[in-house]
Amino acid sequence: GQQLNQSPQSMFIQEGEDVSMNCTSSSIFNTWLWYKQDPGEGPVLLIALYKAGELTSNGRLTAQFGITRKDSFLNISASIPSDVGIYFCAGQGGSEKLVFGKGTKLTVNP
């Protein structure tokens, strides 16, 4: 089945730093999604991408749909303590089932 490789697995950064994470796949996806999970809660959608090359922002978050349709990137600028959580990428291709990456756990030190 389709699989996503999400990296890095974890990040420890200082408040104010920028963050980058990415997902890659051997399969082509039609949709890329980025979710954030706060501790003890379910994931919440941050950004949805539907077109190769698309660059979309949501506040300090920016995500891109890779040109090859096999990857996506999420950047967080000027991190703050409430950015702490697990970030998941998710992709959807021909199988029509949403496939999730294994997550990037972000820790922000004040």
Q: Which residues are at the interface with other proteins (CB under 8 A)?
A: 1, 6, 9, 30-31, 33, 40-45, 48, 50, 88, 90, 92, 96-98, 100-103
- Closest to other proteins by CB, 45 or 78: 45
- Closest to other proteins by CB, 3 or 78: 3
Question: Helix, strand or coil for residue 30?
Answer: coil
CA 14 remoteness from chain centre: 19
What's the closest the beta carbon of residue 7 comes to other proteins, in angstroms? 13
Q: How far is CA 54 from CA 7, 13, 57, 94, in A?
A: 20, 27, 10, 19
Question: Helix, strand or coil for residue 82?
Answer: helix
What's the closest the beta carbon of residue 43 comes to other proteins, in angstroms? 5
What's the closest the beta carbon of residue 96 comes to other proteins, in angstroms? 7
Could you tell me the two tokens for 49? 């991408």
- DSSP code at position 83: G
Give dist(CA 10, CA 34) in Å, integer: 16
What's the closest the beta carbon of residue 52 comes to other proteins, in angstroms? 14
- Closest to other proteins by CB, 60 or 102: 102
